[in-house]
Amino acid sequence: MPYRPKSTLEQWRILQAVVDAGGYAQAAELLNKSQSSLNHAVAKLQSQLGVELLQVIGRKAFLTEAGEVMLRRSRILTAQIEDLELLAASIDMGWEPEIRIAVELVYPKKYLYQALAEFHPQSRGSRIQIIDTVITGTTEVILEAKADLVIAASGVIPKGYLGEPICVTRMIPVVGKQHVLAEHQTLDLDELSQHLQIVIRDTASKPMDNIGGWLKAEQRWTVSNFYEAIEILKSGIGFCWLPAHLVQDLTDSGELKRLPLSQSSERLVPMSLLTPKEEKLGPGGRQLRQLLLAVHGKGGNP
């Protein structure tokens, strides 16, 4: 047989009100109910559960040890019901249940996390899905509208789409401190191309090879993300172009060495925020977009 609850949500809300208000009389005034109805509700709750939750001493109600545990769990339950009802109302108003954000891997995500921290209190229960993309994988996400918001390297934004510039990522070539190139005082691109290059896997279903001239080395190992690349570099194998913000601490400590290229010693990657389908962007997505622009100093209060 299906389980039938012994208690009701209203009983738990009354218990919470009695505890929070400090007694039955205060809770009755707060809830605009009679004191006797609150007494009856709590007494019935305790009887149904077979557990004493409250003790009244004088005019004040005190929780028992069991009551403290049950009250904490009940607050989670009532909060979840409130969130569920709010989500239903938000969906009815057009507030999307999920917002998908595609993010080019070279983007400094501290800005995204800052925007999300500000968005969370007003998110109305919307789920957030963050999709990491690389190179033409970002282009694919835009063309196929697989995300509501896209943070893309400007060079991979397809024709017909416009993005709002938000920042520039510096990419620098690095090796581990044990690598033979770590001792070089100067280095040119032709010499660099003779060594093993660690590259990040393009997330597109049909990736384009050697986009933008990044992959000049004939020897390549492909990994899924920058953190895998860093661990390989630290073991003294290969070189890799990495975001400067990601390896700052490692280059400062000397664990990784920046290669002294005589030309093209760094590559600047302008980043933009765009919306593949503006007409389908819901109120939550618009709110989050404004917050993202604001953390980059682009104004536009949400």
Looking at residue 301, its pLDDT comes to 41
Looking at residue 84, its pLDDT comes to 72
Q: CB burial class (10 A; 0-12, 13-18, 19+) of residue 131?
A: middle
203 and 102 in contact (C-beta within 8 Å)? no
CATH number for the region 169-268 comes to 3.40.190.290
Give the CATH architecture of domain 98-166+270-295: 3-Layer(aba) Sandwich (3.40)
Looking at residue 30, its pLDDT comes to 86
How many Å separate Cα 120 from the centre of its chain?
Answer: 10
Q: Where in the chain is the domain with CATH 3.40.190.10?
A: 98-166+270-295
The first and second tokens of residue 2, run together, are 């299906």
Looking at residue 92, its pLDDT comes to 56
Query: What digits encode the pLDDT tens for the residues 102-130?
Result: 999 999 999 999 999 999 998 888 899 99
Looking at residue 7, its pLDDT comes to 86
The first and second tokens of residue 89, run together, are 């109302």
Structural fold of domain 9-92: Arc Repressor Mutant, subunit A (1.10.10)
Looking at residue 27, its pLDDT comes to 87
Residues 254, 260, 262, CA angle at the centre, nearest 5°? 175
Instruction: Tell me whether strands 164-176 and 197-200 are parallel, antiparallel or unpaired.
Output: unpaired
Concatenated DSSP letters of 105-167? TTS-THHHHHHHHHHGGGSTT-EEEEEEE-THHHHHHHHTT--SEEEEEGGGPPTT---EEEE
102 and 150 in contact (C-beta within 8 Å)? yes
Contacts 24+ apart (CB under 8 A), 204-207: 204/135, 204/136, 204/137, 204/139, 204/140, 205/140, 206/136, 206/140, 207/135, 207/136, 207/137
CA distances from 291 to 49, 82, 125 (A): 47, 25, 17
Looking at residue 247, its pLDDT comes to 95
Looking at residue 93, its pLDDT comes to 57
Q: Where in the chain is the domain with CATH 3.40.190.290?
A: 169-268
Looking at residue 278, its pLDDT comes to 85
Instruction: Tell me whether strands 220-223 and 197-200 are parallel, antiparallel or unpaired.
Output: parallel
CA distance 165 to 162: 9
- Residues 6 or more apart in contact with residue 33 via CB below 8 angstroms: none
Strand partners, 61: 56
Characterize 252-282 residue by residue with b for buried, 16 or more Cβ atoms within 10 angstroms of its Cβ, and e for exposed: eeebbbbbebeeeeeeebebbbbbbeeeebb
For residue 241, which of 269, 207, 205 has the smallest C-alpha distance?
269
pLDDT lower than 70: segments of the chain: 1, 59, 83, 86-94, 206-217, 299-302
Q: Where in the chain is the domain with CATH 1.10.10.10?
A: 9-92
